[in-house]
Amino acid sequence: MPFPWYGGSWEASQVVNHMTLRLGKAHQFLVGVYTRVSLDISLTVNPGGTDPQLDVANPDGLGQQSTDAGTVPNLKWPFSLSKTKIFPGGWTRTQDVNDLPQSKDIAAAQQHLRRGALRELHWHKVAEWGFVYSGSVLISAVDADGNYQLQQLGFGDIWYFPKGVAHTIQGLEDDNEYLLTFDDGDFNAVGVTFMVDDWLAHTPKSVIAKNFGLNETVFKNLPTTDPYILNGTITNSSVSGINPQLSGNSSFVYRTLQHPSESVPGNGGTFYKIDSTNFPISKTIAATYVTLKPGGLRELHWHPNAEEWLYFHQGQGRATVFIGNANARTFDFGPGDTAVFPDNSGHYIENTSPTDDLVWIEIYKSDRVQDISLTQWLALTPADIVANTLKIDLSVAQGLKKEKQLLIAANTTSG
């Protein structure tokens, strides 16, 4: 079946290839990608009953970690398993509580827009946070006080629309893609998203005409079905209102890469924090944008204020999640995977590739990014208590680092 939004000559298989090659979303299941584990699985002869490619991509699901124990629910969902909905101007796929039941705070989506395509005019009952990772887009938004913003965004740029803010998004390059997150895991429930054309299609035309002070015939071609993402032409119009465009602390936009990253004493990568301390309008969603060097470790820690939702964009990694009472489970991650770590659960993230960076985004339903470092906690506790508890030498406890390491470079082990 051809897809007209790719020029009328693209078949379904070509759309899949485009998504794989252009955006790197589909997992590349290669034998040997996990050199740390040897699996007795043939990728050429499969007698049935298992999917060898998935097994190779998820070695820790085969009992790789002897420290895993108890029962931990599934905390991982690949976007590639979500239903991709294709529209005239692009596509979208979501991950909500129906896909990942443990993710109660956050839902998410990937959206792709062609040049000029529009994510139609709409608003939500929840807040929306977006991150551009391919191409560039134009966002347009208006709040209850008539404040507005029309802004072009590129790679690494973020927007945050508070609950109820009216908005739309337009693609500016041939292919444009972004991550969306929402501060409610049940995002796809009825009564969460409202489309302007859907609303007007279910409003008497006489009422619409009276509202705008126009003749009913003006609205004779209103869409009767929800287009969601529709083709369009890149706007060259400007906007002016009673108030000036939003800017500064009131802006809906944050340009991540124009700000300094956080200090990383462990020298294991880069760590950008985006929350209400530097993006004041973002009061219900806090985030980090992290790059971890090959073999590096996001140190053992937990978050005291929220569950952690994650989107893995590049590379290969793993994490062990400890939920208490001797329950722990290790998960493997690759591009396009999402995950959730329960509120206050202990965990780490390790880059399992010897050559490639691991890049991911962390999302919290909170106004602040907060974490408690295991090393810092122990270093700021009387050393004899730590030594007695962990059965280590007193000198080891006394030498623990008092500063959060955040991202620890590979090969930093000392005596």
Dihedral angle, C-alpha 73, 99, 285, 164, nearest 10 °: -150
Element (H, E) at 339: strand 337-341
The reply to whether 209 and 270 lie within a common domain is: no
pLDDT tens, position by position, 358-385: 999 999 999 999 999 999 999 999 999 9
| Amino acid in position 106 | I
Q: Would you mind telling me the total number of residues written for the chain in this entry? A: 415
Q: How does the average pLDDT of the chain come out, rounded?
A: 91
Domain count, the chain: 2
310 within a domain of the structure (yes/no): yes
The reply to whether 214 and 269 lie within a common domain is: no
Asked if residue 122 belongs to a known ligand binding site, the reply is yes
- The whole-angstrom separation of Cα 17 and Cα 30 is 17
Residue 173 is a catalytic residue: no
127 within a domain of the structure (yes/no): yes
Count CA atoms within 13 Å of residue 287 on its CB side.
30
Q: What is the mean pLDDT of residues 233-260?
A: 95
Q: Are the CB atoms for 112 and 91 separated by under 8 Å?
A: yes
Query: With 60 as the cut, is the pLDDT of residue 11 above it?
Result: no
Please state the pTM of the whole predicted model.
0.89
Given phi > 0 = left and psi -120 to 50 = alpha, else beta, which region is 156?
left
List strand residue ranges (DSSP E) for 41-106, in order: 76-78, 85-87, 90-95
Asked if residue 27 belongs to a known ligand binding site, the reply is no
Question: Residue 338: which CATH number?
Answer: 2.60.120.10
Query: With 50 as the cut, is the pLDDT of residue 22 above it?
Result: no
Q: What is the mean pLDDT of residues 349-354?
A: 98
Q: Could you say which of 120, 307, 350, 362 is catalytic?
A: 362
The reply to whether 192 and 153 lie within a common domain is: yes
pLDDT at 259: 97
For the record, the structure tokens of 231 come out as 């083709």
Contacts of 325 (CB under 8 A, 6+ apart): 70
pLDDT at 414: 60
The reply to whether 216 and 352 lie within a common domain is: no
pLDDT tens, position by position, 189-227: 999 999 999 999 999 999 999 999 999 999 999 988 889
pLDDT at 59: 92
Between 166 and 40, name the one with better pLDDT. Answer: 166
The reply to whether 197 and 309 lie within a common domain is: no
pLDDT at 193: 98
- The whole-angstrom separation of Cα 99 and Cα 170 is 28
pLDDT at 415: 54
pLDDT at 46: 62
Q: Residue 184 belongs to what domain range?
A: 76-250
Other residues' Cβ atoms within 10 Å of the Cβ of residue 226: 13
pLDDT tens, position by position, 91-128: 999 999 999 999 999 999 999 999 999 999 999 999 99
For the record, the structure tokens of 346 come out as 């202990």
The reply to whether 110 and 226 lie within a common domain is: yes
- The whole-angstrom separation of Cα 288 and Cα 291 is 10
Given phi > 0 = left and psi -120 to 50 = alpha, else beta, which region is 311?
beta
Asked if residue 202 belongs to a known ligand binding site, the reply is no
The reply to whether 116 and 228 lie within a common domain is: yes
Q: Which residues of 103-116 are buried (b: 16+ CB within 10 A; e: fewer)?
A: bbbbbbbbbbbbbb
The reply to whether 117 and 242 lie within a common domain is: yes
Q: Which residues of 369-407 are buried (b: 16+ CB within 10 A; e: fewer)?
A: bebebbbbebbeeebeebbeeeeeeeeebeebeeebbbb
